[in-house]
Amino acid sequence: MIFLVAAISILITMCLALIRAMLGPTVFDRVLALNMFGTKTVLLICAICFLTERTDFLDLALLYSLMNFIGMVALLRFSHYTALDKEVSQ
Amino acid sequence: MILTILTVVSWVLILSGAFFSIIGGIGIVRFPEFFSRLHGGGITDTMGAALIVLGLICLSPSILVAIKLMMILFFLLVTSPSSCHALSNSALAQGYWPELDNTGKSKNK
């Protein structure tokens, strides 16, 4: 029951992050929403692992938390050296 | 007795984690500009995630699951604030400045 509450609240937060990722005026808003979405994915995998009583899903959550950080740093280094945003490219 | 206490503690932790998570989600949608949205994102990444994972640790069926959850918590608490810092650093380096800044400093100093 409590795991269902946690999963539903995490899903609501993921929807709000997706709204910001669609609306976001700058590329950094989208990257922030992407980072938040990745963290919430890790939490959702943990909650689903307890919900379905399959504890081997936790390895996936561990892997995903590391992958999220690597992808985030790669995207930021890319946006540091080549301008993703038209407004700041000059 | 101990099981009941653990269940109640985990309910409180998971419910407050869910509360902070939704609060941060509302913040990331409704805050006016990027640097204040960073605050909403930071709350869900640290407070919400840590409280939910701590609540799950209280209900974990075996010690291995608890150790894995602690590793997940450690990685989340290390990587989320540092990626938040890298994001704001990159935004400052590209020329963005907080629009709500009222400390008198300007972008060009």
**What pLDDT is recorded for position A89?**
45
Closest by Cβ to B45, choosing from A16, A39, A59 = A39
- Does B81 map to a domain? yes
Closest by Cβ to B76, choosing from A2, A42, A72 = A42
- Does B59 map to a domain? yes
Q: Supply B4's token pair.
A: 């009941």
Q: How many CB pairs under 8 A join A and B?
A: 147
Show the DSSP H helices in chain B as ranges. 2-30, 34-43, 49-58, 63-93
Chain B residues in contact with A9 (beta carbon < 8 A): 18-19, 21-22
Q: Domain of B35?
A: 2-92
Segment B66-97, tens digit of pLDDT: 999 999 999 888 888 888 888 888 888 777 78
- Does B98 map to a domain? no
Stretch A23-35: mean pLDDT, rounded?
86
- Does B74 map to a domain? yes
Cα B43 to Cα A57, B49, B62, distances in angstroms: 25, 9, 29
- Does B18 map to a domain? yes
pLDDT above 80 (res A87): no
Q: What total number of domains does chain B contain?
A: 1
**What pLDDT is recorded for position A66?**
85
Segment A30-76, tens digit of pLDDT: 888 988 998 999 999 999 998 998 888 889 988 988 888 788 778 77
**What pLDDT is recorded for position A18?**
93
The residues of chain B scoring below 50 in pLDDT are 109
**What pLDDT is recorded for position A76?**
72
- Does B101 map to a domain? no
**What pLDDT is recorded for position B96?**
79
- Whether the CB-CB separation of B86 and A72 falls below 8 Å is answered with yes
A26, amino acid identity: T
- Report CA Rg, chain A: 16
Q: Do B21 and A10 touch (CB under 8 A)?
A: yes
- Does B102 map to a domain? no
**What pLDDT is recorded for position B18?**
92
- Does B72 map to a domain? yes
Q: Do A43 and B49 touch (CB under 8 A)?
A: yes
Range of lowest pLDDT (A18-27, A79-88, B62-71): A79-88
Q: How far apart are CA B5 and CA A82, in angstroms?
A: 54
pLDDT above 90 (res A8): yes
